[in-house]
Structures are given as structure tokens and as C-alpha cells.
Amino acid sequence: MVIAIANQKGGVGKTTTAINLSAALAMTGKKVLLIDLDPQGNSSLSFLDHNTIEHSIYELLTDSQVAFEYVVKQTSIPNLYILPSRISLAKFESKLIGEFDAPFRLKDRIEGVVKDYEYVLIDTPPTLGLITVNALVASDYLIIPIQPSYFALEGTDDLLETVEKVKARPNPNLQVLGVVITLHDKRTTLAKDIHEQIRRVFGAKVFETVISKSVRLEESPAYKETIFTFAPASSGALEYSSLCEEVIRRV
């Protein structure tokens, strides 16, 4: 089961969701692979020391001599593995210009190993370029994180249009698993109003679980920890556990 986490708008909690949802799934005993497809590599740096990343997802996608087992790394969390990223991934689009299989590189390279994992989650960059298209082509489902801010729905139409284009040809099986509201500040009336607007637009696709704005969630990656080890009793830990349960039910 391959799930992309995407939204072309930055700062909406994609990486935080990728990290903590992956960890929550692994903690239920599921074997999970997290693919870091963001050149910033923040998901990778939340689990690994940069100096230990000998091969990254960029080499896997562009060099046929680099095998999956050379790139994948086990994290400190049992059952959770990661395909790490580095800034070199920013060269991916220019490297593959004119290549007929460019949108299929990720799908082709993980096709033989997906069956070894119960869940594969993909963290994507805040763009709708070739990297994100690779994630959508390789995925069964899409989770869209949205922050309840004034510009919350800005760009979402472009993402959904891209999803429809991917479904029309390279991946007709792609489905939107759900929309998760992140960075929610319960104290503001604006957040409440936007929250209701998002639910009106997306209806049943919106997860019941809402991820609150949390200092603990912001701090945990700096200590190379998920919210479950950094602050296990925090609202963030409880909410990502709840989101995990919803994802399992929907899938």
C-alpha cells in the first residue's frame, strides 16, 4: 500500500505528517517504508545523521547500478525503514529532461520491493513538478495536509487537477485517501471558520482527526525523534495515533 503525502503549498505539515504517521503505523507492528522525495531531506534528517547517508533516493532513481538495498536504511524505530534524500535530488528534473520514463522512475525502482512492506509513505516537495508526479504515479492513495489559514485552499485545485491527469493515463488507480487539517489553532475564530470551509469543500474526505499546532511537534525533529518518543503524552502524539487508526480503517 503506497501513500503519497502531498500539497504544493509549503509549510502545511507534510513532513511532520510523513514522519509521525510512518512512526505510528510502525508502532502498530506494521512494516513501514518512508520515502523522502523532498530535496530538503528533512524526513531523512529526523532519523539519520547526514554523514551516514552514502546513497540517496537520487542515486536510486538515476543510476541503474545503485540497488534498493544500498539506499534503504533502518531507523531507530522497529519496523520503520527509510529511503533517504539529499539536496542532490534537486537535480532530478533537469537530469531526466527528455527521458520517456521520467514520471515512472520511482514506480519502476520500488515495484519489486513494495510487497515487502505493509505501508509505503512518500514525503514530497512543495511543488507539482516531476518529483511529485513520480510520487503520484507510484502511489495507490494520496493524503493532502491542509493548514486552516486564509490561503488554505490556494493551489489545492492545481493539485487535484494534477491528480486527475495522473489518473487519466499513468495511474488510473490513484485515489485521494483523505484531507488532514494540520497546524490547527483552536484559539482563533479564523481557524474555526476555515476548518468548516475545508469540510464543506472536501466533505467525507476530511479526516475526523485534526492535528493541532504544537511546539512539541516543531521541536521533535531537531532531536531526531518522533513525537511518540519526544513527547508521548502530548496532544501531537495522541492526534497522530488517532490519524493512524483512521488511515488503517480507510485503507
- Number of domains within the chain: 1
Q: What is the dihedral of CA 67, 141, 126, 192, to 10 degrees?
A: -150
Residue 12's nearest CA partner among 176, 126, 147 is 147
Q: How far apart are CA 91 and CA 218, in angstroms?
A: 28
CATH number at residue 174: 3.40.50.300
Residue 150: give the domain boundaries.
2-250
Residue pLDDT, tens place only, 128-148: 999 999 999 999 999 999 988
Residue pLDDT, tens place only, 152-169: 777 788 899 999 999 999
Q: Model pTM greater than 0.85? A: yes
